[in-house]
Structure 1
Amino acid sequence: MSGNAGAGDAAHGERLQKVMAAAGVASRRVSEDMIVAGRVTVNGQVVTELGRRVDPASDRVAVDGTAVQLDTSRRYVMLNKPVGVVSSMRDEQGRPDLSRFTAGYSERLFNVGRLDAETSGLLILTNDGELAHVLAHPSFGVTKTYIARVRGTVTPQTIGRLTKGVELEDGPIAADRARLLQSRSGGDSLVELTLHSGRNRIVRRMMAEVGHPVIELVRRQFGPLHLGTLKVGAMRDLTKDELGALLTISRQ
């Protein structure tokens, strides 16, 4: 037994390149090249020696500044939530809930944040509680982008009000970004809103406050994630790049 505690700890870890390969970063050989090139950090420190051992449960590894998930038991899924489904795993009122989408997974998945029943779009399901807490908490400032079909003809002045801020019953709120996508005279309009607020039904309340009640609402983006062409009711695992971007946010 070594008298050096640090060396003893390191001896019980796994080689960094092996852990990277298991996490799907690259083959072991390519991972070695990345380490030697100084592209890999462990707990914020650049590592260039191939003998370095890490503990996948506690050490934080990044490649080119993007976080890597070493724990292969973690699952991250994107759902395009349909209208009429409540954002909980079990609804006490018997309404359609998220359990129908998670039943096929061996992991116990739960939702990151919520979308109200009448709102469709991007929802993340995961078994990573730490990541879920960070992403759902408004203080971390993760932005969400929504497309709203609203009643009436929205003017540039109204868009200006949304970004300057409106007064609601629970305090003032301003959109990070707002733009008019489509406006039909005498009909309805399409508005894109980006916010980092986690307040309940915030887009619906903001649009009602400026005189344009929401008819239909879709969340298209959550932080670095885009809904893309994912069909309503469909699910897919996050890509390595998407997961890396999310983990990088959560670790900052």
Structure 2
Amino acid sequence: MHRQDADATVTRITGGTPRPPFSRFTFPGHPFPLKLEDFIAKRLSIGRRAARARLLAGEVTVAGESTGDARREVTRFDEVTVSGEILQPSLPRLYLMLHKPADILSATTDPLHRTVLDLIDHPHKSSLHLAGRLDRASTGLLLLSNDGLWSGALTLPGRKVEKSYLVETDRPIPPEAVARFAEGFPFPSEGIVTLPARLEILAPERARVILHEGRYHQIKRMFHRLDGIRLRSLHRERIGPLRLPDDLPPGHWRPLDAAELAYFAELPRIPSEVADPRN
């Protein structure tokens, strides 16, 4: 359950397997979006020809509108009925921010530990997934949604959405660390060099780190390359222009407002076949 924060498909330096490649979103039991004839065939356990016959007979509605278009795409958010029977109820699109406290897993289920979904009181919370992650001990801004194309646009490798973190270290940060962060750190076992990052030293043992990627334990590993510096705390304060509000206490959440969603709406949507809102 402890995958890297956000978007990189890498092999952990501690061993283990790479994260599986992005795939079409499955809910519940088959991928979305689906062609309407395929959706009806699967839900009614009938053939495509029989599904098309129901469409041509005018028995099908999508989002309250009658349709005979067999190739129309159906998403998980659309209500679909056949002869008045609801095959799939409508589902609201959800876009939430959460102030993650420490000791909470960035996951939706876990048999042993509390997860971020345990903090959310919403009738459709089971439909949510995380658009990026934080380690169990880390705190700060998390985004959740049930819209896989939206979260994919935010977290897919190559998007380079800027993220800002506040860190506290176990010893003073050397001045030359600023240049080291700007150069990037090689991780030979993964065959990568981190993208240039900005380090602002705020106090001898406190700094702000601004990244454009999110590799597994990246900030911890970068500091550890500086003579073994360890982090006492890591707090994410911002994703893109979206800053964690001062009036949102740890453990609390709220929907994104229209202005906040407007920025993310400008990000190019990814093709549905690479959307990956799995947990």
- Please, what TM-score do these two structures have when normalized by structure 1? 0.65
Q: Which residue of 2 is the match for residue 19 of structure 1?
A: none
The separation in 2 between residues aligned to 1:103 and 1:158, in whole angstroms, is 42
State the AA in 2 paired with 1:216. Answer: S
Of 212, 226, 232 in structure 1, the residue corresponding to residue 243 of structure 2 is 226
Of 201, 219, 230 in structure 1, the residue corresponding to residue 217 of structure 2 is 201
Q: Which residue of 1 is the match for residue 194 of structure 2?
A: 173
- The sequence identity of aligned pairs, in percent, is 28
Change in 2 beyond 3 A, CA 1:105/1:203:
farther
Change in 2 beyond 3 A, CA 1:199/1:87:
same
Pairwise CA distance, 1:133: 1.3
Is 1:112 paired with 2:112?
no
State the AA in 1 paired with 2:218. Answer: I
CA deviation profile, 1:67-124 (whole Å, cap 9, x unmatched): xxxx9921111001111111111014x1111221234343522211211111111100
Q: Which residue of 2 is the match for residue 182 of structure 1?
A: 203
State the AA in 1 paired with 2:108. Answer: M
The separation in 1 between residues aligned to 2:215 and 2:197, in whole angstroms, is 14
- Please, what TM-score do these two structures have when normalized by structure 2? 0.59
> For 1:249, what is the secondary structure of its paired residue?
coil
Unaligned runs of 5+ in 2: 1-74, 76-89, 271-279
Q: Is the 8 A contact 1:78 1:235 kept in 2?
A: yes
Q: Which residue of 1 is the match for residue 258 of structure 2?
A: 240
Size of the alignment, in residue pairs? Answer: 178
Q: Is the 8 A contact 1:137 1:198 kept in 2?
A: no
Q: Which residue of 2 is the match for residue 8 of structure 1?
A: none
Q: Is the 8 A contact 2:184 2:197 kept in 1?
A: no
The separation in 2 between residues aligned to 1:228 and 1:182, in whole angstroms, is 23
CA deviation profile, 1:52-74 (whole Å, cap 9, x unmatched): xxxxx9xxxxxxxxxxxxx9921
Q: Which residue of 2 is the match for residue 126 of structure 1?
A: 145
- State the structure with bigger RCO (CA 8 A, min sep 6), 1 or 2: 2
Change in 2 beyond 3 A, CA 1:105/1:194:
farther
Q: In angstroms, what is the RMSD of aligned CA positions?
A: 2.2
Q: Which residue of 2 is the match for residue 158 of structure 1?
A: 177
The separation in 1 between residues aligned to 2:200 and 2:193, in whole angstroms, is 20
Structure 1 runs (4+) greater than 6 angstroms displaced = none
> For 2:262, what is the secondary structure of its paired residue?
helix
Of Structure 1 and Structure 2, the greater helix share is in 1
Unaligned runs of 5+ in 1: 1-56, 58-70, 184-188
The separation in 1 between residues aligned to 2:118 and 2:215, in whole angstroms, is 26
Of 77, 85, 92 in structure 1, the residue corresponding to residue 104 of structure 2 is 85
Q: Which residue of 2 is the match for residue 136 of structure 1?
A: 155
Q: Which residue of 1 is the match for residue 71 of structure 2?
A: none
CA deviation profile, 1:100-158 (whole Å, cap 9, x unmatched): 12343435222112111111111001111101112121211111111110121113211
Q: Is the 8 A contact 2:128 2:144 kept in 1?
A: yes
Q: Which residue of 1 is the match for residue 7 of structure 2?
A: none
The separation in 2 between residues aligned to 1:145 and 1:75, in whole angstroms, is 24
Q: Is the 8 A contact 1:175 1:194 kept in 2?
A: no
State the AA in 1 paired with 2:199. Answer: A
Deviates more, 1:172-181 or 1:126-135: 172-181
Of 192, 214, 218 in structure 1, the residue corresponding to residue 231 of structure 2 is 214
